[in-house]
Structure 1
């Protein structure tokens, strides 16, 4: 069997190779690439004769899937798989597994790091100290007593809800599947939007959720409310969000994901919007999360070889 990590998975090559050698059969051929490429021909060359390919968030179009003639398992080092040509995988009989759960703690940490930075004006505070200024004009806001809305209550959304409760927030949630969670009350999306002081998005990107927060939904939000998106950029109409921020409708936005992967083009609307804290898609990127992710990727291969596949998307 040939296993190919078609792009770096975020852990050192030596560490990943040792993990792979422990997880895979002794006669497995292990190939680890330490560079990323978007060139279709190069991707086909890298994965063309592999039975198993590991990929992170590198887009794999149908041409690549079709070109990898021996491919049987695609183990994705990511939670979402909207960057994978699933139709081509289905047509070619390729099993697709994801790595759900590896970044739950990391993303939830970032939500509150960005939120506290925004509410306590930490970026401005840092600039003031370095410029020899005082705290004048830098009075912030507390989280205690705020109404916190969670859109999507998978593992990350539920962890965010629990942390929000620990901060002393009243927690509302909206999700396709409701769960019995102490301290969390489920409501419809319009009620959540119009009621909450802070809204954090944790929904997957699907045809139904694309632009789920658009101009109409932003208009429903409380004046001065804060929107957080650490899930998928296209959940939000970011041009409409930038306008709402520019017009003073919203109190701020904390954004880690965009319509495209950073580096962003200079005309990205959110780059020029006020009251924002922006990050270059780092929610999942902690040393601990990346190690967990590699372990899940290889665990997917072990389970598949044993005939008991896990984390199967299709």
Structure 2
């Protein structure tokens, strides 16, 4: 089988060589590109003879998939797969496996980095010290005793809940399923409107699909407390950025920590959140830790080995 890693997945060349030698010993070929393709034409050149494709979050269009006549399996080095033309994969009988779970800890930790930064004014405090100012107007708030709302109680949402509980927060979840962890943590299950009304912090951990586009829009943001903050480490289109910017600029909510946008960074200079008040913006870094990348590569190649053994895992199509 010809296996093509069409873009880097943030592991060392030494590690790639280890995987290459393992696959070659099994009679396969691994080709690993060190940069992204700039357009579909270049992608087609890279992929057209591949049996198996490894891709992270670079968009994979139907045009590329339809031109790849030998392609049988895609191992996605990412949790989300909304950047892949899944209908074309189904039409061409291409199996897709993702790397769900590799960044659960990383994403949950960054969510709390954003929360603490906003609640304790860390960015502004650093700026104040550097220009000779004091803590005036920088008095923050504690997490202890706050209502921590989690929208999306999957693996990452549950990791986030554990951390919130360790800080002494009350956990609110918009999920009707009864989870064992929820029972252990004393989670309160609420419909999304009640969660938005009662939370001091709202953290989003849902996948991107038709039902979650603009999940948090004008009406949902209007329900939030004036001193509440919103955290999005899920997917950009889950939040209506214009509605969020309007609420921030008019001080309808206290702040927002945003790691994801409607597009991959760099984001355009006229994006509404760039000039919104009381924001911490990060360039889609929630998943990006050394530990997560190592785990991700393990899952990517395990997915391939499982498929070769006719025991596919982590299948999304």
Fold shared, TM-score > 0.5 on shorter chain:
yes
Identify the range of structure 1 (29-38 vs 304-313) with the bigger mean alpha-carbon deviation.
Answer: 29-38
How far apart are the structure 2 equivalents of 1:255 and 1:24? 42
Q: Does 1:171 align with 2:171?
A: yes
* 1:38–1:58 CA contact under 8 A, matched in 2: no
Identify the range of structure 1 (218-227 vs 276-285) with the bigger mean alpha-carbon deviation.
Answer: 218-227
How far apart are the structure 2 equivalents of 1:233 and 1:25? 42
* 1:13–1:34 CA contact under 8 A, matched in 2: no
* 2:56–2:78 CA contact under 8 A, matched in 1: yes
The aligned counterpart of 2:111 is 111
* 1:5–1:54 CA contact under 8 A, matched in 2: yes
Q: Residues 62, 177 of structure 1: CA spacing in aligned structure 2 closer, same or farther, 3 A cutoff?
A: farther
- Measured against aligned partners, the alpha-carbon deviations of 1:53-85 in whole angstroms (never above 9, x if no partner) come to 000000001001111110000000000100000
Unaligned runs of 5+ in 1: none
The aligned counterpart of 2:31 is 31
Q: Residues 242, 24 of structure 1: CA spacing in aligned structure 2 closer, same or farther, 3 A cutoff?
A: farther
- Measured against aligned partners, the alpha-carbon deviations of 1:218-273 in whole angstroms (never above 9, x if no partner) come to 11111221000000000000010000000100010000000111111110000000
Identify the range of structure 1 (181-190 vs 143-152) with the bigger mean alpha-carbon deviation.
Answer: 181-190
- Post-superposition shift, 1:27? 2.0
The aligned counterpart of 2:135 is 135
Query: Equivalences for 1:160-309 in 2 at 5 Å?
Result: 160-175=160-175, 177-180=177-180, 181=182, 182-183=184-185, 184-309=187-312
How far apart are the structure 2 equivalents of 1:117 and 1:252? 10
Unaligned runs of 5+ in 2: none
Alignment RMSD, CA only? 1.1
TM-score by length of 2: 0.97
How far apart are the structure 2 equivalents of 1:209 and 1:175? 14
How far apart are the structure 1 equivalents of 2:132 and 2:191? 48
Partner-residue secondary structure (3-state), 2:211 = coil
The aligned counterpart of 1:98 is 98
- Measured against aligned partners, the alpha-carbon deviations of 1:270-314 in whole angstroms (never above 9, x if no partner) come to 000011001000000000000100110000000001111110001
How far apart are the structure 2 equivalents of 1:112 and 1:309? 34
- Post-superposition shift, 1:12? 1.6
The aligned counterpart of 2:8 is 8
- Measured against aligned partners, the alpha-carbon deviations of 1:162-197 in whole angstroms (never above 9, x if no partner) come to 110110100010136442322212111111011101
The aligned counterpart of 2:314 is 311
How far apart are the structure 1 equivalents of 2:15 and 2:208? 32
How far apart are the structure 2 equivalents of 1:59 and 1:177? 33
How far apart are the structure 2 equivalents of 1:58 and 1:161? 30
* 1:54–1:75 CA contact under 8 A, matched in 2: yes
Q: Does 1:40 align with 2:43?
A: no
The aligned counterpart of 2:62 is 62
